[in-house]
Structure 1
């Protein structure tokens, strides 16, 4: 199984983000889950890839030619895809992944996971989307989504399909047992 990891090219304010990212790398190895990520050595992206390599896991990166120099391409990973645009990068990661786990990050991280959640809602894929909610990082985002349900902009089943936990084992278990909801334009049975 290939798991796309979306995370920041920064380390964040607290060392807990790096510590939990390293734990995630170990748990993925223990569960025979390979990594697909953005191809960088920077921040949590570098932590997840380098820790995974230390643990002898397979790591695939996808990076744009423009970002190769800016983000410092991780030349140690097993496979790297270089693409022209960010959209091609996202498409390739989505194609290669069987599941998605989001760690703390900024605009790019949020944009990446939001796209795959939107595609799941539309029924374009049936892959699990998870948030490793380290230090309550995504609490306010989840509240926003719950408010969108309350206000009638998102169906409740699309919030319930999200795997949100600070427990890595729980996330992996739920990924393995994931069942996709009925897509947005189909009636529920």
Structure 2
């Protein structure tokens, strides 16, 4: 199945290592080359700004969605294809989910993690069948991936649910895997691991 738009969760800071910004730019360029639109948090700075600018530079379409309370704090991007200001974070996240065919987390902080885990949880619960992924730029998500495996080993997450979260180190591979994703049919554990 072809993905027409991707929601990118990422930091409004650039991070410590230059590889994070470069990975965002590489992903943005590859998305635009494949005709995949960007849906993101609407900022002009950090990794958020880098991925948006890269898509725009290649002639791609970018939709920014930002809550009114963050317009100044996150320095809203003024050069986007579409720009929406919401009243709340909840409205922002819902609009991002509704406009997207898949979700990718680049390096980011607590907000990035919160957005990713919420949308991945919605997938596990069957609220959507869209792919969710980690772009593991510079090994940023190595420790998180190991912890998710630990969650499976400790029987808090089923292996098929863990496998729903795609992890890739390179943009082409990431986008290929998103395009071929098929949501598994998995029941949630009840009680002591019974289904």
Write the mapping of 1:12-31 to structure 2, written as runs, cut at 5 A: 12-31=15-34
Give the Cα–Cα distance (whole angstroms) in 1 for the partners of residues 126 and 186 of structure 2. 5
Q: Specify the alignment match of 1:41 in structure 2.
A: 44
Aligned length: 186
Q: Which runs of 5+ in 2 are unaligned?
A: 190-195
For the aligned residue pairs, the C-alpha RMSD in angstroms reads 1.1
Q: Contact 1:52–1:58 at 8 Å: present in 2 too? A: yes
Q: TM-score, normalised by structure 2?
A: 0.93
Unaligned stretches of 5+ residues in structure 1? none
Residue of structure 1 in register with 2:88 after alignment: 85
Name the CA distance, whole Å, in 1 between partners of 2:136 and 2:13. Answer: 16
How many angstroms apart in 1 are the aligned matches of 2:67 and 2:153? 38
1:151 aligns with 2:151: no
TM normalised by structure 1 equals: 0.95
Quick check: 1:63–1:83 contact (8 Å CA) kept in 2? yes
The superposition leaves residues 62-106 of structure 1 with CA deviations (integer Å, 9 ceiling, x where unpaired) of: 100010111111111011111111111111101110011110000
1:171 counterpart residue number: 174
Q: Is the 8 A contact 1:41 1:71 kept in 2?
A: yes
Equivalent residue for 2:70? Answer: 67
The Cα shift of 1:183 comes to 4.2
- Are 1:4 and 2:23 an aligned pair? no
List, as ranges, runs of 4+ consecutive aligned residues in structure 1 with deviation greater than 2 Å. 183-186
In structure 2, distance between residues paired with 1:93 and 1:142:
24
Distance 2:113 2:102 in 1: 16
Taking a change above 3 Å as real, the CA distance of residues 29 and 71 of structure 1, as seen in their structure-2 partners, is same
For 1:109 and 1:156, how far apart are their aligned partners in 2?
23
**Conserved? CA contact 2:26–2:54, under 8 Å:** no
32-41 vs 167-176, which deviates more?
167-176
Q: What per-residue deviation string (whole Å, max 9, x for no partner) do you get for residues 122-177 of structure 1?
A: 00000001111011101111111111111111110011111101011111111111
Give the SS at the match of 1:126.
coil
